[in-house]
Amino acid sequence: MILNILKKKLEDAKGLWPELLPEVLWAYCTMPKTSTGETPYSLVHGTGAVKPVEVGEPSLRYSNKSGPRNDESRLQDLDEVKERRDMAHVRMVSQKQQVERYYNKKAEVRPLKVGDYILKAKTQVAKDPNEGKLGTNWDEPYKITATANK
């Protein structure tokens, strides 16, 4: 949803998109992803991003992070980044398995037998370039006439 809003903002900007692009990229990098539960920035750098506004006018978060303890907390963040990446990987795999289970629950498995008709997908080479993207993606139907023994 947020990405759609960002795309719309860039489309509305028309010729001003080069000025808005850094803001959009920053928003994308600092937004937690559903699959990992982490922001791409934090997975790469080991810590959350600080908005430029917080540096100019210090917030409580920024003032607590700056100072002599900053080096210690930064080293601790870097030590924990491997664990955070592993946990993000586990969450991502878990989400993919959940989607797979949902899809397989809806899919109807039906064995093919002699006499059934099947469609063969066209390869990119076999597609007619004059048809465009609305052209057929399948060759004509084929009838199964025999089975191959294993």
Of the candidates 142, 140, 100, 143, the one whose C-alpha atom is nearest the C-alpha of residue 122 is 140
3-state secondary structure of 22: helix
Residue 91 amino acid letter: R
Tens of pLDDT along 44-83? 776 666 665 544 566 555 555 555 666 677 677 777 778 8
Report the mean per-residue pLDDT for the chain: 77
Dist. CA 9–CA 44, nearest whole Å: 27
pTM of the model: 0.42
Q: Write a three-state SS string for 25-55.
A: HHHHHCCCCCCCCCCHHHHHHCCCCCCHHHH
